Every structure is written in structure tokens, then in C-alpha cells.
């Protein structure tokens, strides 16, 4: 148990009959009249749904003991993703429903944070950006460059993103893992 005065970004709370909610942001508010309260933005760990919730200051909330471990993606075994703990070298199997959209940016050897709760992986956190090679994209058409448009490109992981017209097949680029946007070339 913790008090709402102890909330921090990234803390995981157990609310609504055992659902896990991660604190995205919080703000302590002390109005001129009335008691102080804490305004929070919470994200449900399993579904990703974001809600705003207000607590009275000093209210007790149940925290969940979530263990975030640095792990390396090893390989895909059928539908399951196999991650190796970089400290103990233990391997764990993570289902596609837990990996979610992160699967678009995973290559063997990539590092990720795997959040564990009661012995099971509940979500995966990738770095904000990853470097991947373009496996296929159509060449830009002469004259198109003046518009600053974009074209579809397939990454080495199989994911499709939009890239500027001057990018060619075989080039290494930086991709934002949060929204799949092109961030720039990698030298």
C-alpha cells in the first residue's frame, strides 16, 4: 500500500478489482477552498486504455510489485517470442498479445524492458527509437522531390512505414517505436 502523496510516473497501481494501471502523469492540487487532491492520468497495463482519475490527497492505494528487467530478444518460436534475461541468462516465452505492436520493431539481439508481475510477462517496453534497414521501397520518381512527399517502405522486420522519397532499399534508418514514424538516416 502507498499513499497518493507518494505517486511517481511509471508506478503500477492495483485498482478496480485487481486491474493494473500505470501512472502516466500526476499533479497535486491544493485549491483555495476544500481539501487537496491528486489528479492522475492512468494507463491500463494490459489494454493500453488511458483514463483520468482523481484521488483525495493522502488516500491509500494498492501498488503492484512489477519487476522490469532488461532482456534481449532471442528468437520467435512459432507464435511465442523468446527473451533472455541479460543477468541470469534465463529464457522466457512471451505471447504475441503481450508483445503487441513491439513485434514490428524486434530483431534478434534487440534489448527491451520486460515487465513481470507474479511470474508472467505483462508488457514490453522498447527503446524510443530503433535502427533498422529498409528491405524494399520503390525508387523515388524524378521531379517528385520538390513536394517533400513520402512513400511506403518495408523494414527488415516486415513492418511498413512511410519514408521520404530520397530513401533507397538497403539504407539504415532510425524509426520511432511509439508511432512508427521515420526519424532520419543512420550513418
Integer Cα distance of 151 and 88 in angstroms: 43
The pLDDT assigned to 148 comes to: 65
The pLDDT assigned to 33 comes to: 87
* 58 pLDDT higher than 70: yes
The cell numbers describing 187, all together, are: 550513418
Question: 123: closest CA among 66, 73, 85, 74?
Answer: 66
Q: Is the pTM of this model over 0.95?
A: no
Q: Which domains does the chain have, with CATH numbers?
A: 2-63 (2.30.30.30), 67-125 (2.40.50.140), 129-185 (2.40.50.140)
Q: How confident is the model at residue 137 (pLDDT cuts 50, 70, 90)?
A: confident
The pLDDT assigned to 146 comes to: 53
* 129 pLDDT higher than 70: yes
Amino acid at each position: 500500500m502507498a499513499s497518493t502523496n507518494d505517486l511517481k510516473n511509471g508506478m503500477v497501481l492495483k485498482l478496480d478489482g485487481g486491474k493494473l494501471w500505470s501512472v502516466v502523469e500526476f499533479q497535486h492540487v491544493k485549491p483555495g477552498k476544500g481539501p487537496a487532491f491528486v489528479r492522475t492520468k492512468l494507463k491500463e497495463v494490459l489494454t493500453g486504455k488511458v483514463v483520468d482519475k482523481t484521488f483525495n490527497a493522502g488516500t491509500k492505494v494498492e501498488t503492484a510489485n512489477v519487476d522490469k528487467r532488461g532482456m534481449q530478444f532471442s528468437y520467435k518460436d512459432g507464435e511465442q517470442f523468446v527473451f533472455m534475461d541479460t543477468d541470469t541468462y534465463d529464457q522466457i516465452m512471451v505471447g504475441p498479445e503481450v508483445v503487441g505492436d513491439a513485434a514490428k520493431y524486434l530483431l534478434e539481439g534487440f534489448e527491451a524492458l520486460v515487465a513481470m508481475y507474479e511470474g508472467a510477462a505483462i508488457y514490453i517496453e522498447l527503446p524510443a527509437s530503433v535502427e533498422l534497414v529498409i528491405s524494399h521501397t520503390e525508387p523515388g520518381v524524378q521531379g517528385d522531390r520538390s513536394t517533400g512527399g513520402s512513400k511506403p517502405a518495408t523494414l527488415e522486420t516486415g513492418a511498413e512505414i512511410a519514408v521520404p522519397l530520397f530513401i533507397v532499399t538497403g539504407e539504415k534508418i532510425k524509426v520511432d517505436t511509439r508511432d512508427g514514424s521515420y526519424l532520419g538516416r543512420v550513418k
